Chains A and B, each alone.
Chain A
Amino acid sequence: MSPTDGQGNAVLRVRGLNKSFGSNTVLRGIDLDVPRGKVVALIGPSGSGKTTILRSLNGLETPDAGTVTVGARGTAGNGANGAGGGAGAVPQLPELTLDFGAKVTPREVAALRDRSAMVFQHYNLFPHMSVLQNIIEGPVRVQRRPRAEAVAEAESLLERVGLLEKKDAHPFELSGGQQQRVGIVRALALKPQLLLFDEPTSALDPELVDDVLVVIKELAEEGWTMVIVTHELAFARQTADEVVFMDGGVVVERGPASQVLRTPREERTQAFVRRLLHEI
């Protein structure tokens, strides 16, 4: 069955993901579905494996077993998904399945990266490039899109996150919150089907967190398909369609955001949510 079949119309389908680092098993048979235009938040204590899942979806980690399927993308009818600021056409992409049980080729990993883009916890902007260069590097150098077009798109995206006047600045001249918004624009500029956020606000000073969360929330409302690893439970409740709670490399509980975060069924989820909401 294709992930684009049926009611799910899934952009992402993960089945049986396993991963060990030496004797340390971090993922034990993870399944995950993300329907088109939906936002899934991965929560759980550190070391629960949520970041490893996210990194596997961008080929930055190679699981030992399991499959990752990204649905096909047509030219029309995808809403905002992949369209960035609405400018430019989105290339068609066939369905892609990576079977980590077999050997995954560099070509397959590259195809996965054509479809997903990541926002890093520590931004990982390129310090030797200007904000604009950071954003157009992928579109121009990798996707071979015309420079003028890439610049125009980058500028309109920067304007949306309120950073157009910083386009010629270098990352070190920006605050953490500004750097992370550039990180988000860099990911958007790649026109991915799937946006991945790895604890996008946990390296930020508290007063800068909201600027970044507001941007992510707007993207969710626009219909981008996203997977977000986060510790911001209030944000997850407002933004995510589904919350997946992980512990010890397994999915302990999943469901609608308000259910998992307000009335969790599992004891481990209850303990985790209580601890995070009643922090000193």
Chain B
Amino acid sequence: MDFNLFWSSLGPMALGALQGTIPLALASFAIGLALALLVAMLRISRNKVANGVGRFYVSVIRGTPLLVQLFVIFYGLPALGVKLDPWPSAIIAFSMNVGGYAAEVIRAAILSVPQGQWEAGHMIGMSRGQTLLRIILPQAARVSVPPLSNTFISLVKDTSLASLILVTEMFRVAQQVAAFSQEFMLLYVEAALIYWVICLILSTAQSQLEKRLDRYVAH
């Protein structure tokens, strides 16, 4: 194996992570969380239609492969006259995916807050929406950090799929260098290492966040 290639490819691949993988994951997670909150609201709504819409969305997202979702948006939609570039396609697909998975996490976290907290919110005069925002969600946030961190870490790794719809992220750089040098083992292990390092950093950030949010809770 050519270890010089390891060092010389590290720069372009790190750049691929900084310009592709990480912004793609961050943008998709942010949009996906907003979507998830909306879908979770539908799922806890007393309105049967809203509830059904939320349930259907989660079912479709969780019941179909992410790769298929990506392909439908990038390669399928042009047949309907909707032609999207690789980046928007990837962000839409990943956001919708996160939206489906995180919605269930947020819904479960909201349901885990004791009913008495809703009642205390209503007692002091808050509407359902106000109680949700001021009383319930801050408590649900603490509960949902570990599972949402899981979702985010999965997403970081799943962004490698975007290489298949021509997004220049880190794994696509690895593929290109490997095809040129024929050093497949070296470059794919190198890619794996970089993903691992990113995920280690995220895990540390997760424990810091959990500690911060645990400040006011008895153990």
Chain A contact residues, CB within 8 Å of chain B: 58-60, 106, 110, 113-114, 117-118, 120, 122, 124-128, 137-138, 141-143, 170, 172, 186-187, 190
Q: Mark B83-115, 1 if CB is under 8 A from A, else 0.
A: 000000000000000000000000000000010
Question: Which residue of chain B lies nearest to A128 when distances are taken between CB atoms in the complex?
Answer: B138
Partner of A128, one of B126, B127, B139, B218: B139
Partner of A127, one of B124, B126, B130, B139: B139
Given contacts A110-B127, A120-B123, A170-B216, 16 further A-B contacts (CB under 8 A): A58-B123, A113-B123, A113-B125, A122-B116, A124-B116, A127-B217, A128-B139, A128-B216, A137-B134, A141-B134, A142-B126, A142-B130, A172-B217, A172-B218, A186-B124, A190-B124
Summarize B's interface: helix, strand, loop or mixed: helix
Contact at A120–B216, with CB atoms within 8 Å? no
9 residue pairs from A and B, CB less than 8 Å apart: A60-B119, A113-B122, A120-B116, A120-B123, A124-B120, A127-B139, A138-B124, A143-B125, A172-B216
- Which B122-170 residues have C-beta < 8 A from chain A? 122-127, 130, 134-135, 138-139, 142
**In whole angstroms, what is the CA distance A118 to B118 when docked?**
13
> Within 8 Å of chain A (Cβ to Cβ): is B117?
yes
Once A127-B139, A127-B216, A137-B134 are accepted as A-B contacts, the answer to whether A142 and B125 lie under 8 Å apart by CB is: yes
**In whole angstroms, what is the CA distance A155 to B67 when docked?**
58
**In whole angstroms, what is the CA distance A127 to B139 when docked?**
8
Contact at B126–A117, with CB atoms within 8 Å? no
**Total number of residue pairs linking A and B with CB closer than 8 Å:** 60
**In whole angstroms, what is the CA distance A122 to B142 when docked?**
21
**In whole angstroms, what is the CA distance A58 to B122 when docked?**
9
Residues of B within 8 A of A141 (CB): 126, 130, 134
**In whole angstroms, what is the CA distance A3 to B63 when docked?**
60
Residues of A within 8 A of B218 (CB): 172
Partner of B135, one of A110, A122, A126, A190: A126
Contact at A59–B122, with CB atoms within 8 Å? yes
Once A137-B134, A141-B134, A172-B218 are accepted as A-B contacts, the answer to whether A126 and B126 lie under 8 Å apart by CB is: no
Partner of B124, one of A60, A128, A142: A142
Partner of B122, one of A60, A126, A128: A60
Partner of A120, one of B119, B130, B139: B119
Question: Which residue of chain A lies nearest to B219 when distances are taken between CB atoms in the complex?
Answer: A172
Residues of A within 8 A of B119 (CB): 60, 120, 124
A114 smallest CB distance to B (angstroms): 7
